[in-house]
A = this chain, B = another copy of it.
Amino acid sequence: MQKEHSLSKNQKIIFDLIDKSGGPMKAYSILFNVQKKGIKAPLQVYRALDKLVEIGKIHKIESRNAFIACQNSSCQVSKATAFSICESCENVSEISNSKLSKYLSSFSDNSGMKYSKYNLEFFGLCKKCKSK
């Protein structure tokens, strides 16, 4: 069990929005959606996003510049993330596969690097898009 982080006002507004959306959201789309709640500037959004990423409540999908709610239990605070991305419909989901995560978390090579974190993005076609 990890520490509970109590979210601040802006963090909560933004996390709830992303979480309810069920998929990845882009920063300026988030901004647009929370303006009625008083969050008016990009920086307010980015600060909340930074914090939410830091504590593992959301992840950034790097190839899409988008943010998605963690679908596991905050992923060891975001040190090990894997996503599946449909290149047709842009559906994204978080992969939760213990074999994969064990394999990657224990990966090492002879480069002398000490790895502490990874992010993996798989691309392809989802079930729906395949059958079209």
Contacts and interface: CB of A to CB of B under 8 A. Distances in A.
Interface of A: 62-63, 84, 86, 93, 95, 97, 100, 103-104, 107, 109, 111-127, 130
8 contacts: A63-B119, A84-B113, A104-B120, A113-B122, A113-B127, A115-B122, A117-B122, A119-B121
Contact of A123 (B118, B124, B126): B118
Given A112-B127, A113-B124, A120-B121, 6 more contacts: A84-B109, A113-B122, A113-B125, A114-B130, A118-B122, A118-B123
Question: Which residue among A63, A114, A130 has the maximum number of chain B CB atoms within 10 Å of its CB?
Answer: A114
Report copies per complex: 2
Given A84-B115, A113-B84, A113-B86, A107 B122 contact: yes
B117 A120 contact: no
